[in-house]
Amino acid sequence: MLHWISRGLAAVSLMAKQPLASFCEIEASHGDALVTKHGDYVSFLRLGGMRRMSTRADIDRLANAMRIDISGTLENRGHAIVGWYASDPDLAAVEIERVNMSACREIAKEIGLELSDIFEERKKLWTGMMRWEAAYFILWTRATTLTKEERKQMKEEQAALAKKCPNIGDAQKFYLRSEVMAARHTGFVSRVVSSLKGLDVAATEISAHDALVVAREAMYRETVGSAWRPTLVGDAFRPRWPDEKDERPILETLMWPAIRDFFFDSDAVVHDGQRVEIGLYDYGCVDMTMGPEDPRPFVELSSRLGQDRVPWRVSFVIEGGGNSDMLLKSAGAQFLWMFPGNRDITRAFELLKRERENNNHIAVRLRASFATWAPSREVGKLRLRLSTLKQRLEAWGNCRGTTVIGDPLDGVMSSVPGLALASTAPPSVALIGDVLTMLPWGRTASPWDRGSVLFRQPNGAMWPYDPSGGSKRPQVLDTFVAPPRSGKSVLANTINLGLCLSSVALGAVGAKLPLIGKVDIGDSAEGFVLLIQEALGPQRRQEAIYTRMQFAPGFEFNVFDLQVGCEYPLPLEKAFLQNFLALVTLPPDQSTPFEGMNQMIGIVIDEAYRLCTDVPGASPKRYRRGIEPLIDIAIKRHGVDLHQDEPHWRDVVTALCAVGEYRLAEVAQRHAVPVLEDLVGAARTDQVKDMFGKLTIAMTAEQASDLFERYIYDVIRKFPTLNSPTRLDFGAARIIVMDLAEVAPTGSAAANRQTEMMYMLARHIIARNFFLKPDYLPFVPEDARSFHQPRFQEIYESVKRLDYDEWHRTQGSPQVRAQAELDVREGPKHNVQLGFASQRLRDMGDAIVSQSTGRFVLRAGDDAEAEEIVQRFNLSEASADIVRHRLHGPGPAGAPFLVVLQADNAKYEQMLVNTLGPIELWALSTTPGDRALRNRLYDRIGFREALRRLAKIFPGGSAEKEIEERKAKRMRRGELDARAETGVVDELADELADARGIGAKLRYGDSGSEFNAAAAR
C-alpha cells in the first residue's frame, strides 16, 4: 500500500514541477529519436557550421532559401525547430584536450619526442584565447501533426505494445513508440537536413544516446567530456533488485530504468529569487521579451560574447502555427485600434499579412531563452556575466530582454535542450525568414573534428586541422603566399610539427617520425629541425637533419646512385637523370633542349650503367682496399671470396647483400656506379655514335656528342662534388632540410641556371625514395628483392611530405617545373604531400595553383596582388574582404591567414589565426636577429634553458624591437650597421646567460632558483 501511495505523491509532485526531474518529458527512444510521454518525437542535428565565411547579404540570401525549403513544415502547429547554442570559455581546456592535445601527447610518447614544455605552454595559452562551443537544431514532431485516422492508428499501436508488457511502473515506456509518428518525424528531419546541406551547412543527425549526453552536459557543465552514457531500450544493463520484499522482483526492476532516474545528478536550489544552483555552478537567465527591430545574423551576437569570454547558451523555440496566432491577435488589435499602442501592432500585423500574400512568407511563433553561469558562490561574477549577456542581447538588432522571471528554475531549464518543448520567454509572432537569420547555423566549420594542429578563429572558436589529410583530403598540395615577415615559414613549420604528431606517425611497423623533406633558400626551417633533434634526445638526433649545401669536401653526391643491389636505375630514377642532364646541357639563356639531345641522353645513361656491369665490352669499377675501411673489415669478417686479380665493387655489393650487410652494400655500391665523367666514355661508344654521330647542333655547328661532352666537362669543373662517389650521407634521417643559400646564387643567367640545378639535385637527394612502390620490384635483382619488398611496401604506404620554399627562384626553368608538376600528378598515388611557398601567387605557376588543395594566404603584397588572389581562387565576397583589408601580418595574438581548402569533396574558406606560445615561437623563429640570439644561447646554456629564458624576457616571441633600439644607439655612436647588430646580439646573449641587465628579472621569476643556479654555473 505504501508503495502505491508514494507513487501517487510522486505523480502529483511531477505535475506541479517541484523536483528537477519534472522538467524531463523524455520517456523512451526510437532509433535515433527520443520519445516524450505525450508520444512526441525529438531528434538532435549537430550543426558543424558553414564551409565558407558569409556577409550579411549572404546570410539573408541563405535564410530565404531555407525558408522556401522548410516553410511547409511550419505552416501549421505540430512541428517545431529549437535552435540551441552554447559557448563556454571556461571549458576550453577540456575541448583542447579532446580535439588536439590528448592525441598529440600520446603520439609524441610513442615516437619518443619530449615536447612537454611545448604542450604545457600551448594549453596555457590556448585556454585563455579559445572557447568550447556547440550548436544544434532540435527537431520536434508532435502528435497533433497526424490526421484523425493516423492518431487512431498510433493509439492502437501503443495499446498493443502496452498490453504485451503491463505494469512496468517507472521503467522506460517503450510502448510510446509509433511507426506512424516515426515516419512523419523522419520526413521532417530529412527535409531540414536536406535544406541545410543544400545550403552548404554541415549538419548530422546524432543518436539518441548522444542527444541525451548533449542535454546532460548542458544541464551539468562539470560533466562535459566525461564518459557518462545513458542506458536506453535495447542496451545491456544489470537488473535492479526491489527495495520491498515481494515474492518475486516486480517487472519494473527487470526493465530499463526511467531516463530521468539516471539523467539528473543533483537537484536545483534557488537563491535570492534569481540565482539557481545546479551541480557545481550557479545559473542566471535572460528571456527575450521583444524580438529584434533589425534581425541580424547570429554570428554577430556569438562573436561579441566570445570576445567578452562570457559562458552562455540560448534556446530559440520556433513553432508552426504562427499565422493562426496572428489572426486572433490581429482581430483584437483591430477591435481596440483607437489606442495608440494597438495602432503599431495593427500595422505590424498588416506587414505580416502582406508578406504572406505577396511572397508566401509565413509567420511562426518564437520564444528565446538565454542563460549564463559561474562557479557556485561566485555571485559577483555571475551578476557581471548576466549583465553582459543582457546588454549584448539588447544591442543585437535592438532586442529587449529581462532577468525578472517568475520561476528562475523554469527560466534556466528553458535553455536546456531536448528535455521539453517549453520556454518562459513570452511568445512573439515573426516572419520565418527573419527568425532563420537569427539561428546558429551560420558559424564557420572545420572538416575535421580533431587534428594535431589547432588554429583559432578570430572570435576564439577552435578550428582543428589534420595535416595528414586522411580520407577527407587524399591529395595534399599546399601553397603558401605572402611577402617576407608575414608568418608563412612559421606556419609551414607548425604544419610539419603537426604532421609529426599526427596519426601518420603510427605506421604498420611501429611509431616513427614521418618522412619530411624541405628544399629551402635560407634557414627558415632550422629551428624546426633543432626542436625535433632536442625532443628526440642525443641518441636519436640523427633522425632529423638540417644541412647547408656546399661545394666542399664532405658534400659529394652522385646523382647516379642506385637502390642497393640494383645495376640499373628504376624508372623514376632514370626520369630524374634525364631531366637533370637535359638541364645541365642547356645554355644558361635557353629553356628548350637542343634537337635530339633528350634522346641521346637516354641512350648515354643506359650505356654508362652498362659499362659498369660485368658484361662483354664493359669495364666495371675495381675494388681497392683502404677506400672504405668498414667494408674491408666486413669482407674479412664474413670471409668474402673476391677475384684475386680483378676484384670489382659490384662483386663486393653482391657479396655483402648475400650476407645481409645491406647498409655496407649501399656504401660499396656508391663506388660501383657511374659518375659524371663516365658519361663521356658512354657518349663515345659505338651504339651512341651509330645513332647520333651525324646529329649536328645548328646553333653551335657541333656534333651532339661533342657538345654533350663539353657541357659535362664544364659541370665537372664548376661542381667537382658532383663527380665523386657520394659522401653526403643522411643515414637513418627521416626529416631532412637542405639550405641552398650558399649554392643558389642570383643575378645572371648562369647563376639562375645553377640555382635550378641545385633545386633538382636537392629534390633528388631528399625525395628519391618517396616515390618507391612494390610495382618496382621486378626491376630489382632477385637477390635483393627480399630486402626491398618490405621497404618498398612501408615507404609506399607511409605519408611523405616535400616542401619547396622560395619557389619563385625556379621561374624560367621548364625542367624544374616539369619535375614538380610530375610530382604533383604522381604524389597522391604514392602518399606524397607537397608544399610550395613564395612571395606572390604568380610565382607558383598555373599547373600547381590549379591542382592545389590547400591555399594559405597570409598577406597580399599590394592591391593588385590582392585582386589577383581573389580572382584566381574565386573567393566569396567575405573572403575577398579578408584578403583586401584584414591580413596585416603577425601580431601579439598570432598570425592571421586565409585558408582555402578542398576537403571532404567541398570547398572551405576560413580566416584563421596561428597562435603559438613564446617558447614555440622562439624555437621556430626565422627572423635573423632573433635566430642569432637564440642560437648563441643554445650554445651557452642549452636548448631548453635558452628557450625558457627567451620566453620569460621576450614573451612576444621576438627581441627584434630591443635589438633595433640598441642597434640605433650604437650607430649614433658611430658603429657600422653590421658590427652594431652583431654587438647587440652578443650583448643580449651575455645578459640573458648571466641573468643581468635585461635578464635580471630571471632572478626573481617563478622559477628564479633554477635560473640562478644556471647563471651561477
Average pLDDT (654-665) is: 92
| Residue 955 shares a structural domain with residue 908 | no
Domain boundary among 910, 926, 942: 926
* 15: confidence class by pLDDT, cuts 50, 70, 90: very low
pLDDT at site 789: 95
Distances (CA, A) of 815 to 264, 574, 587, 631, 756: 69, 14, 13, 38, 8
Could you tell me if 403 and 503 lie in one domain?
no
Mean pLDDT of 660-673: 94
Residue 710 counted as domain residue: no
Average per-residue pLDDT for the chain: 89
pLDDT of residue 1017 exceeding 80, the answer is no
Q: Is the dihedral of CA 13, 16, 19, 21 positive or negative?
A: positive
DSSP 181-233: HHHHHHHHHHHHHHHHHHTTEEEEEPPHHHHHHHHHHHH-GGGTT-------T
Question: Is-contact 603 691, C-beta < 8 A?
Answer: yes
- pLDDT band at residue 922 under the 50/70/90 scheme: very high
pLDDT digits (tens, 9 = 90+) for 445-476: 899 999 999 999 999 999 999 999 988 999 99
Closest CA to 67 of 260, 283, 322, 311: 322
If asked whether residues 49 and 188 sit together in one domain, one would say yes
Could you say which of 437, 457, 487 is where a domain stops? 437
Q: How far apart are CA 253 and CA 239, in angstroms?
A: 6
Contact indicator for 178, 158 with CB cutoff of 8 Å: yes
State the pLDDT at residue 13.
41
Same-domain status, 737 and 831: yes
pLDDT, mean of residues 260-284: 91
User: Which range (14-23, 136-145, 447-456, 747-756) has the least confidence?
Assistant: 14-23
pLDDT of residue 1009: 43
Domain identity same for 298 and 420:
yes
Domain assignment present for 694: no
Report yes or no on 862 lying in a domain. Answer: yes
- State the Cα–Cα distance between residues 176 and 30, nearest whole angstrom: 9
Rounded to 10°, the helix 116-127/943-953 angle is 20
The confidence band for 1012, taking pLDDT boundaries of 50, 70 and 90, is very low
**CA distance linking residue 620 with residue 649, whole number of Å:** 8
How many residues are given for the chain? 1017
Place of cell 612502390: 773
Provide the pLDDT confidence category of residue 1010 given band limits of 50, 70 and 90.
very low
> Is the domain of 138 the same as that of 242?
yes
Which pairing describes strands 462-465 and 453-456: parallel, antiparallel, or unpaired? Answer: antiparallel
Whether residue 186 is predicted with pLDDT greater than 80 in this model: the reply is yes
Query: What pLDDT sits at residue 839?
Result: 93
**Cα atoms in the 13 Å half-sphere on the side-chain side of 83:** 19
Residues 25 and 119 in one domain: yes
Q: 77 pLDDT exceeds 50?
A: yes
* Residue the block writes with cell 659535362: 712
At residue 800, does pLDDT exceed 50?
Answer: yes
* Within-domain flag for 143: yes
Q: So what's the pLDDT on residue 245?
A: 60
Q: Which of 688-702, 900-914, 963-977 shows the highest mean pLDDT? A: 900-914
- Structural domain count of the chain: 3
What confidence score (pLDDT) does residue 159 get? 85
Confidence band, pLDDT 50/70/90 cuts, at residue 235: confident
Percent of the chain at pLDDT above 70? 91
Residue 518 has pLDDT above 50, yes or no: yes
Q: Which of 20-24, 389-393, 437-441 has the lowest mean pLDDT?
A: 20-24
Residue 931 and residue 912 share a domain: no
In this prediction, residue 273 carries a pLDDT of 84
Distance CA 180, CA 203 (A): 25
Specify if 374 maps to a domain. yes
Specify if 454 maps to a domain.
no
**Mean pLDDT to the nearest integer, 582-589:** 89
Is the predicted pLDDT of residue 334 greater than 70, yes or no? Answer: no
Q: Are residues 949 and 921 in the same domain?
A: no
Q: Are 63 and 436 in contact (CB under 8 A)?
A: yes
Please work out, in degrees rounded to the nearest 5, the angle formed at the alpha carbon of residue 655 by the alpha carbons of 650 and 656: 100
Confidence at residue 645, expressed as pLDDT on a 0 to 100 scale: 73
Q: Kindly state whether residue 221 falls inside one of the protein's structural domains.
A: yes
Give the residue with greater pLDDT, 288 vs 343.
288
Mean pLDDT of 741-748: 88
Domain of 219? 2-437
Rounded CA-CA distance 825/851 in Å is 9
Residues 154 and 84 in one domain: yes
Helix or strand or coil: residue 591?
Answer: coil
Confidence at residue 332, expressed as pLDDT on a 0 to 100 scale: 46
Tens digits of residue pLDDT in 600-645: 999 999 999 999 998 888 899 999 999 999 999 999 998 888 877 7
Kindly tell me if the per-residue pLDDT of 514 is higher than 90.
yes
Confidence of residue 311 (pLDDT cuts 50, 70, 90): very high
Q: Give a yes or no: residue 585 inside a domain.
A: no
Q: Are both 789 and 909 inside the same structural domain?
A: yes
H or E segment at 372?
strand 363-375
Same domain, 278 and 322: yes
For position 810, which CATH number holds?
A: 3.40.50.300
Question: Does residue 520 surpass a pLDDT of 90?
Answer: yes
Which of 926, 961, 995 is at the close of a domain?
926
Q: Does the pLDDT at position 1014 exceed 80? A: no
